[in-house]
């Protein structure tokens, strides 16, 4: 007879492991099934985010930014250094130590909270049973059952038929995190979040980077004014971003690889040494659901759920990258918590209107709420306040003044509808704006709050004042 649990979680990423811990905290007998392994072939919890996504990429972004600043920016502070070099092997070792520390921490959290962990690949069967298979052989090792099942298998990189992965010269985002040296010429297909972050890393470390983006608009999801400023800053940094470029083929040449693409109706080409395909991610629903399990997926592979993350089968839930909404680790985690609390009889809540977005380039880009363009299309009358970091004392002291804060408020009620920022360390600054919007604040509320001086957050204060044309430290 199959062992029975209160909750089975399939997937150990930010949605799955957080849901499992919260279920256990609520007194539910919980098991988490995950098949990911680390570089040594050992089971490693944390999913894509901790192992080959959010955490390792941010480690490399920070290392590469420190190197770049030492080379190009520290002179303004009176700091000089000769023969500056970077040991990429040591940089990669540091990255892996961070990953190992955090993934090991999840294992400890599971033990502390009494969450059972099974290494294997989970597949939802009929009757709320889950078959667990060996990831290598594909053989079923055991079958377990539960009153509730949370599907949290995450997502995988999208592949291009025209540019197949070879694991060495043509790689996905995971491969790009593991380069042992900076390619002299790096081609990145896709200038979205992942492409920009990875392109920034290797550009700072010495690669000539060209990003080929199929869309005609740069960072189409971001506010257009912020996107324009970002494009200007990245161009100054040497990133070669070519919009409207649809790659059709990659071929080997005597000196590297040739990417063939079409731009404005003309065939173009560029020679590179390595290629990173970063055109997005898709839900990892392949093989997750038995045909008779009762749970459906849409044409793009997303598991079909309602607003509460319920599937068509009572007691089966799905969260994170598997379902509608942005593919963001923090969105996944909050959905996991909400589902755990619903299973335990609580309310569970997540406001999708106040989920923040962050791109960890330099300058960073972050936003919450709607863009100016979206609101115009909806016919919503707005008023807008801007404030540049060039007029912020802390940014000047840091020698990091690129960017601005933009606050959009309703023209009549003054309620904040969106905040869009590009600048230094604004992945931290955006939190204030998320809190404000979550409490339905007005721009006047932010304008009346005392902000410490000198801080980067003062730019938010001044932008809020600027909504009603009363910024103190802005010319005009």
The answer to whether position 215 is within a domain reads yes
Q: What is the DSSP string of 273-306?
A: SEEEE-S-EEE--TTTB-TTS---B-TTSPBP--
Q: Checking DSSP bridges between strand 245-253 and strand 256-263, what pairing results, if any? A: antiparallel
- Least Cα distance to 222 among 58, 366, 408 occurs for 366
Q: What is the DSSP string of 386-453?
A: EEEGGG-HHHHHHT----EEEEEEETTT-BEEEEEEEETTHHHHHHHHHHHHHTT-BHHHHHHS---S
237 preceded by cis ω (within 30°)? no
- Is residue 145 located within the same domain as residue 16? yes
Only one residue has tokens 């901790």, namely 50
Number of domains in the chain: 3
The answer to whether position 247 is within a domain reads yes
User: DSSP assignment, residue 163?
Assistant: B
CATH number of the domain bearing residue 246: 3.50.50.60
The answer to whether position 242 is within a domain reads yes
The answer to whether position 476 is within a domain reads no
Give the residue numbers annotated as catalytic, written as ranges. 453
The answer to whether position 165 is within a domain reads no
- Is residue 310 located within the same domain as residue 204? no
- Is residue 20 located within the same domain as residue 137? yes
The answer to whether position 475 is within a domain reads no
- Is residue 179 located within the same domain as residue 262? yes
Structural domain span for residue 187: 170-279
User: Helix (H, G, I), strand (E, B), or coil: what is residue 252?
Assistant: strand
Q: What is the pLDDT along the chain (476 residues), one digit of tens a residue?
A: 679 999 999 999 999 999 999 999 999 999 999 999 999 999 999 999 999 999 999 999 999 999 999 999 999 999 999 999 999 999 999 999 999 999 999 999 999 999 999 999 999 999 999 999 999 898 999 999 999 999 999 999 999 999 999 999 999 999 999 999 999 999 999 999 999 999 999 999 999 999 999 999 999 999 999 999 999 999 999 999 999 999 999 999 999 999 999 999 999 999 999 999 999 999 999 999 999 999 999 999 999 999 999 999 999 999 999 999 999 999 999 999 999 999 999 999 999 999 999 999 999 999 999 999 999 999 999 999 999 999 999 999 999 999 999 999 999 999 999 999 999 999 999 999 999 999 999 999 999 999 999 999 999 999 999 999 999 999 86
Residues in the chain: 476
The answer to whether position 315 is within a domain reads yes
The answer to whether the predicted template modeling score (pTM) of the entire model surpasses 0.75 is yes
Strand partners, 418: 369, 408
CA 308 from centre of chain: 22
Tokens encoding 126: 């009929």
- Least Cα distance to 154 among 47, 52, 50 occurs for 47
- Is residue 256 located within the same domain as residue 197? yes
- Is residue 367 located within the same domain as residue 261? no
């Amino acid at each position: 007879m199959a062992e029975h649990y209160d909750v089975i979680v399939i997937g150990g990423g930010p949605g799955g492991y957080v849901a499992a811990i919260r279920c256990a905290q609520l007194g539910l007998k919980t098991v988490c099934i995950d098949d990911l392994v680390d570089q040594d072939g050992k089971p490693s919890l944390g999913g894509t985010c901790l192992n080959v996504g959010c955490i390792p990429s941010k480690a490399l972004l920070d290392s590469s930014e420190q190197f770049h600043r030492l080379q190009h920016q520290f002179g303004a502070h009176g700091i000089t250094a000769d023969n500056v070099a970077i040991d990429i092997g040591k940089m990669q070792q540091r990255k892996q130590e961070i990953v190992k520390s955090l993934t090991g921490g999840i294992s400890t959290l599971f033990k502390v909270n009494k969450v059972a962990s099974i290494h294997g690949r989970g597949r939802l069967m009929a009757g709320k049973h889950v078959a667990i298979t060996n990831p290598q052989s594909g053989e079923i090792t055991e079958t377990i059952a539960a009153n509730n099942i949370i599907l949290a298998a995450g997502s995988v990189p999208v592949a291009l038929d025209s540019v197949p992965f070879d694991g060495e010269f043509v790689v996905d985002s995971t491969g790009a995190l593991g380069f042992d040296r900076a390619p002299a010429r790096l081609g990145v297909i896709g200038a979205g979040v992942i492409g920009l972050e990875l392109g920034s890393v290797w550009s700072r470390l010495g690669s000539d980077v060209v990003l080929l983006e199929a869309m005609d608009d740069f960072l189409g999801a971001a506010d257009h004014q912020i996107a324009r400023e970002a494009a200007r800053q990245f161009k100054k940094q040497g990133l070669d971003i070519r919009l409207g470029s649809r790659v059709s083929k990659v071929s080997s040449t005597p000196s590297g690889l040739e990417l063939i693409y079409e731009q404005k109706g003309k065939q173009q080409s560029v020679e590179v040494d390595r290629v990173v395909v970063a055109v997005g991610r898709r839900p990892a629903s392949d093989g997750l659901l038995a045909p008779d399990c009762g749970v459906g997926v849409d044409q793009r592979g997303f598991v079909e759920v309602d607003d509460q993350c319920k599937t068509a089968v009572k007691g089966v839930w799905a969260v994170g990258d598997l379902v509608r909404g942005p593919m963001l680790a923090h969105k996944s985690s909050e959905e996991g918590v909400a589902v755990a609390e619903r299973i335990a009889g609580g309310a569970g809540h997540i406001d999708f209107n106040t989920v923040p977005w962050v791109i960890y380039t330099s300058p960073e880009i972050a936003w919450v709420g709607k863009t100016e363009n979206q609101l115009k299309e909806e016919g919503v009358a707005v008023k807008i306040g801007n404030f540049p970091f060039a007029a912020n004392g802390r940014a000047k002291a840091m020698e990091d003044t690129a960017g601005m804060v933009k606050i959009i408020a309703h023209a009549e009620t003054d309620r904040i509808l969106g905040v869009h920022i590009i600048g230094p360390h604004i992945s931290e600054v955006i939190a204030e704006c998320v809190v404000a919007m979550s409490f339905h604040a007005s721009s006047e509320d932010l304008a009346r709050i005392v902000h410490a001086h000198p801080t980067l957050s003062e730019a938010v204060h001044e932008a809020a004042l600027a909504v009603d044309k009363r910024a103190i430290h802005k010319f005009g």
